[in-house]
Chains A and B, each alone.
Chain A
Amino acid sequence: GESVGLHLPTLSVQEGDNSIINCAYSNSASDYFIWYKQESGKGPQFIIDIRSNMDKRQGQRVTVLLNKTVKHLSLQIAATQPGDSAVYFCAENNNDMRFGAGTRLTVKP
């Protein structure tokens, strides 16, 4: 069936480096995607979204890239900080939202 998944379950980066978190989706009809950040024991927090008619969208220190050809979504975090440590997961919309399991990002000082 259709699913949203992530390439890596964990990612460890040095403080100040850039982070790239990847997400593969299988439903080519999905028209909207969101990246969420979830800190331990808390609810997910919206980071950035992108519609399928776009390839790239930038926010504050974050960029989302959408490659519809290979059905791949990525989240780039510039100058990663300790406060960025969390689980990041993507969600896709095709009539309803489907969520991936997430990647745990750990930032080393």
Chain B
Amino acid sequence: SQTIHQWPATLVQPVGSPLSLECTVEGTSNPNLYWYRQAAGRGLQLLFYSVGIGQISSEVPQNLSASRPQDRQFILSSKKLLLSDSGFYLCAWSYGSSYEQYFGPGTRLTVT
């Protein structure tokens, strides 16, 4: 069966510090991968998606970036965090042309 992992589960970082969140998927190959941010009381905002290694599409301009160094690894990064980067970050995967997305447990990021 497929599983998706995210770490860390929680993170508190000062403004201006770098960020690296990791997501890995097990039990499948060539997944579509997604990074979302969920602000309190708001819907999921798609940040990045990837259909293959090294292929990243950005949905919104921001100080975040994403990379996919391996087939089942998706990384969300920032060089300098802003207060507005605080939120709940979710990684998700889907397969092929299926619309259904499966979510990881999320990372709670607090920028202080």
Contacts and interface: CB of A to CB of B under 8 A. Distances in A.
A96 B92 CA distance: 14
A41 B101 CA distance: 18
A42 B106 contact: yes
A96 B46 contact: yes
Interface stretch (A12-20, A59-67, A97-105): A97-105
Interface residues of B, number: 17
A44 B103 contact: yes
B41 A101 contact: yes
Q: Bin the interface of chain A by size.
A: 20 to 34
A43 B90 contact: yes
Interface in A38-95: 41-46, 49, 89, 91, 93
Interface string A1-19: 0001000010000000000
A48 B109 CA distance: 29
A46 B105 contact: no
A34 interface: yes
Contacts of A96: 46
Contact of A102 (B43, B90, B92, B102): B43
Interface of A: 4, 9, 32, 34, 36, 41-46, 49, 89, 91, 93, 96-102
12 contacts: A4-B43, A9-B41, A34-B100, A41-B106, A43-B6, A43-B104, A44-B103, A45-B103, A96-B46, A97-B101, A99-B44, A102-B43
Given A43-B103, A43-B106, 4 more contacts: A46-B102, A91-B44, A97-B46, A102-B43
Leading 7 A-B pairs by shortest Cβ distance: A43-B103, A99-B44, A99-B43, A101-B43, A44-B103, A93-B99, A32-B99
